[in-house]
Structure 1
């Protein structure tokens, strides 16, 4: 139930955001098929280039631009998996060029400016690009009807440091997680239920002026949810709003300890078809968790 719901939720969120770009997206999608290629577009490799600016509209050097190649045919436990990545760094004039990207697929665009020009999974970001659904190759490789040679304007980034601990708070617990924009319900990151991809800590980069809901899936523990609101209040250096090293950062850690809960009640079987007006011996209780977009403050 959870796995099917997770995949369905991601698809619904993708559809909702795609509606925002519906006319353009549908046109690009149909054009790709008209060319005889797969839904992702022409299978030939391509280059993707353009410019990046900061929030003050000045060209931004040292920003990381990454194109993630995603494969919808492999989508099972969550969002479509990333099968390849291509990246480059912007020059002082904001220009970037990512060459020889694998064609015939769909693509995520991730643009971030890290503090001190460092990169990595646990590096803080100061600026971040828009959160978008995957787009076909035609959208990235066309400069008249697509976004090739476009200028991307970044906004302030928020950094959420995720971790989980056991009851004694002495040992960290590995987990996977899903994180969504609370208002839109759009998933920023969805869980992959594969033990090889469980983590102990991760810094997630998000637009700083939004509210988020995080659902932790600790190993061998039930899910735990947190609401993170007003991330813009967590500025490590409140007096440096125009400084490229300003960081909005929050630690979000959960205690995974469990306690026994007694559940009791009754079930009316009159609405269950073959169980109608008969006795039924119910031998098990299945609990299915759902992402709830919380209104409270973390």
Structure 2
């Protein structure tokens, strides 16, 4: 595991977060801007011109085929379906197609400042940094694009219908089911397949020297048919390189465990025996609630092998 890639450097906030008066002013400005944004929202058939960056086809045999899009450069896209509204979240998410292109569906993650999570939140990040950090992460992970993560087609700016500037990340569209919906649309065997492949995907990402940080059910999609299934991680807003060996050891146990715990919370009503299955099929540190430092030497050995 390498620690050679430095983390993206988040900028200083544009206001003093410790000043009640500064926070009040900025919050009032955001809510006023949000009012106008909600009166003129994004909608189906809107068109924007984006500066696409077409990545290379991942050469791995199991990689997904690179979607067919126009060559790199200014490209007009048209919004199709809203996947995530994004109010008080990190982004609005839409599908889109290139106008005059082959009809390939893409995903647009639109970071519109007034719609983003408010500054009163404990998890406030500057919208500019959210957009640029995720783009930075994708550009450092070309070997994962088409495998663990979507292909990345660049970062652009747009002017939304209310006149507000926003940032747009353009990504491969991943068909499939999310952790949130798996209990409603899959068999027990498919649920467990999703669980095992999700744990494996998180382990691979971490083993590559990166921390996901934001492990939530909507951020994982099971795609592909029987014999060719894979779990794809679709949200890298807060991801970053792992900084040290001690961090790596903790993250290598904590993040797969976190995925498993959240996955189980979504499917337990349908699959009450998933813990018994996990005890036979998954490493102990994934399903065990015991912290790493309280485990036996045998448990520690299993934990270490999981990231080897």
TM-score range, shorter chain: 0.3 to 0.5
Normalising by structure 1, report the TM-score.
0.33
Q: By percentage of residues, which structure has more helix? A: 2
Normalising by structure 2, report the TM-score.
0.32
Q: By percentage of residues, which structure has more strand? A: 1
